[in-house]
C-alpha cells in the first residue's frame, strides 16, 4: 500500500520521538520515500543524523540553512506539495494545540499549514494531559479539519503512570496508514485466489514432465490485486518469481495434485479466483524411486489424467467470480467459449500462440477477455503488468455491476 508513496514525517518534542527511528525504517521497508521535519525540542530526544541516515534525506528543522557562509531556505510549500501523506508522530499536546489554532512558529507547523495531502497525527502525552478537556477539544477540532487521528495506546508512560496516552507503536502506525489507503480501493475487503506457473510431474527423482510457463502473468495479477486493496493467496508452481507485498500470501507447490489441495483449502473463502497456472493435464502413472538408467531401445511412459482444478472450482463455486485462462492454437474463440461453458466460469482470458507477443516466456501478452454473457473484448499486445491491469478492470466492472 505504501510503495511509491511520499511520506513527510513530522517529529515533535516528546519522549516517544525515540520510536521514530523504527518508524522511519518500517516506512522505507514498505517502499515509501520519507522526508523528515522536526522541532528543535525533538532533536533532544532523537538524533537528526540517525534519522537522516535512515531516511536517506536531510532532516529539516529550521526555515534558514547556514552552511559555509551561504544561506538557503527550506521551502515549506514545496515540502507540503511533495508529500502524498503527512504524518506527525509523536504529536505532543503543545504542537496539536498550535495546529488547531493556526499557530505557525516553526518549520513543521508551516509545512502542516501548507500541506494539500491527508494529514495524520499520533498523539503522545501523559495520561492526565491526554484526558484533559482542552486536549479532547483539540482532537475534535483537528479531525473536523479533515486530519486523521491515530489513537494513542494504553501502557506504561514516561511518568511511571499506566494508562492511555502512549504513542501507537511504529508497526501499528504503518498498518493504520495501509488500512487507510486500502479502504478506498476497488478491491478492499475482497479475498482473491490466483494460481500461477507450471506444475512439475515427477518421472523419477531427477526428471519431470513440465511446460514453459514462467508464472509471470499470475504473479502480475496477484500484485495488481494487492495494489487494488485485495488480500491475495497466490498458489504457485515451481518458479523463481517472488511477490514482495504485505497483502500477498505465496503458497508454493510442485505437482498438480498439490495445487489442487491448496486451491481447495482457500477457494471457499474467496470472492474472486483466477486460474492462471499452466497445470499439467497428465502425470506419469508410476514414478520410479530411483533414477531411471539409460538402456537400449525406447522408454515408454504410461500417463494418467490429473484432476481438473478449474472444473472442480466451477462445480463448487457459489458466490465466487471465477476466471480461467485458455491458451489456444486453433479455433481460438470457439475453444475458449466451450471451456467457459463446460467449466462453469464467469469469464475466460484467451491467449493465442498465433499472436505475436503472446504465450509463455515473454514479457508481453495479447489477450481477449470473454465473459459468461459471451461479451468479447480483445486487447492489443501489452506488457504483462498492463495486461493484469486490463483483466482486473474487466473483473471489477462485472463484480460491482
Instruction: Name the CA dihedral angle for 355, 359, 364, 365, rounded to a multiple of 10 degrees.
Output: 60
Question: Rounded to an integer, what distance in angstroms lies between the CA atom of residue 401 and that of residue 382?
Answer: 26
DSSP assigned state of 10: E
CA 206 from chain centre, in angstroms, equals 36
Q: Which residues contact 398 (CB under 8 A, 6 or more apart)?
A: 321, 346, 347, 371
Query: Is-contact 277 238, C-beta < 8 A?
Result: no
Length of the chain equals 401
Question: Rounded to an integer, what distance in angstroms lies between the CA atom of residue 30 and that of residue 245?
Answer: 9
The three cell numbers of residue 55 are 531516511
Whole-angstrom Cα Rg for the chain? 28
Please choose, from the candidates 252, 254, 274, 221, the residue with its C-alpha nearest in 3D space to the C-alpha of residue 384: 221
Question: Rounded to an integer, what distance in angstroms lies between the CA atom of residue 391 and that of residue 224?
Answer: 10
Question: Rounded to an integer, what distance in angstroms lies between the CA atom of residue 269 and that of residue 356?
Answer: 38
Pairing of strands 85-91, 119-123: parallel
The three cell numbers of residue 39 are 522541532
Q: Work out the angle at residue 212's Cα, subtended by the Cα atoms of residues 208 and 215, and round it to the nearest 5 degrees.
A: 105
Question: Rounded to an integer, what distance in angstroms lies between the CA atom of residue 376 and that of residue 394?
Answer: 11
Question: Rounded to an integer, what distance in angstroms lies between the CA atom of residue 385 and that of residue 218?
Answer: 10
Of the listed 6, 75, 211, 335, which one is catalytic?
211
- DSSP code per residue over 104-142: --SHHHHHHHH--S-EEEEE---HHHHHSHHHHHHHHHH
Question: Rounded to an integer, what distance in angstroms lies between the CA atom of residue 286 and that of residue 290?
Answer: 12
Assess whether 211 carries a catalytic annotation: yes
Residues with catalytic roles? 211
Amino acid at each position: 500500500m505504501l510503495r511509491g508513496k511520499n511520506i513527510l514525517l513530522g517529529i515533535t518534542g516528546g519522549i516517544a520521538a525515540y520510536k521514530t527511528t523504527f518508524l522511519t525504517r518500517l516506512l522505507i521497508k514498505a517502499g515509501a520515500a520519507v522526508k523528515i521535519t522536526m522541532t528543535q525540542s525533538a532533536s533532544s530526544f532523537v538524533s537528526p543524523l540517525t534519522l537522516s541516515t535512515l531516511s536517506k534525506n536531510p532532516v529539516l528543522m529550521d526555515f534558514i540553512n547556514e552552511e559555509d557562509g551561504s544561506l538557503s531556505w527550506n521551502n515549506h510549500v514545496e515540502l507540503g506539495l511533495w508529500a502524498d501523506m503527512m504524518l506527525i508522530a509523536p504529536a505532543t499536546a503543545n504542537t496539536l494545540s498550535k495546529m488547531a489554532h493556526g499557530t505557525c512558529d516553526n518549520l513543521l507547523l508551516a509545512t502542516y499549514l501548507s500541506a494539500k495531502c491527508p494529514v495524520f497525527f499520533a498523539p503522545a502525552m501523559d495520561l492526565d494531559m491526554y484526558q484533559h478537556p482542552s486536549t479532547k477539544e483539540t482532537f475534535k477540532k483537528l479531525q473536523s479539519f479533515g486530519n486523521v487521528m491515530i489513537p494513542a495506546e494504553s501502557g506504561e508512560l514516561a511518568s511511571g503512570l499506566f494508562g492511555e496516552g502512549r504513542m501507537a507503536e511504529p508497526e501499528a502506525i504503518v498498518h493504520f496508514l495501509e488500512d487507510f489507503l486500502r479502504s478506498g480501493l476497488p478491491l478492499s475487503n475482497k479475498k482473491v485466489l490466483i494460481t500461477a506457473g507450471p506444475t512439475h510431474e515427477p518421472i523419477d527423482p531427477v526428471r519431470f514432465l513440465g511446460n514453459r510457463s514462467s508464472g509471470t502473468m499470475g504473479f502480475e495479477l496477484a500484485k495488481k490485486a494487492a495494489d487494488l486493496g485485495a488480500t491475495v493467496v497466490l498458489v504457485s508452481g515451481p518458479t523463481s518469481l517472488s511477490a514482495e507485498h504485505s497483502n500477498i500470501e505465496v503458497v508454493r507447490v510442485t505437482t498438480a495434485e498439490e495445487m489442487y489441495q491448496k486451491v481447495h483449502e482457500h477457494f471457499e473463502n474467496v470472492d474472486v479466483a483466477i486460474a492462471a497456472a499452466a497445470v499439467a493435464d497428465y502425470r506419469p502413472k508410476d514414478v520410479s524411486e530411483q533414477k531411471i538408467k539409460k538402456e537400449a531401445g525406447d522408454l515408454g511412459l504410461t500417463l494418467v489424467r490429473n484432476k481438473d482444478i478449474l472444473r472442480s472450482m466451477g462445480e463448487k463455486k457459489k458466490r465466487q467470480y471465477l476466471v480461467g485462462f485458455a491458451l489456444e492454437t486453433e479455433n481460438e474463440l470457439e475453444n475458449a467459449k466451450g471451456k467457459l461453458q463446460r467449466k462453469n466460469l464467469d469469464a475466460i482470458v484467451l491467449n493465442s500462440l498465433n499472436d505475436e507477443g503472446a504465450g509463455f516466456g515473454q514479457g508481453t501478452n495479447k489477450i481477449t477477455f470473454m465473459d459468461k454473457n459471451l461479451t468479447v473484448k480483445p486487447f492489443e499486445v501489452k506488457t504483462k503488468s498492463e495486461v493484469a491491469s486490463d483483466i482486473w478492470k474487466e473483473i471489477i466492472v462485472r463484480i460491482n455491476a
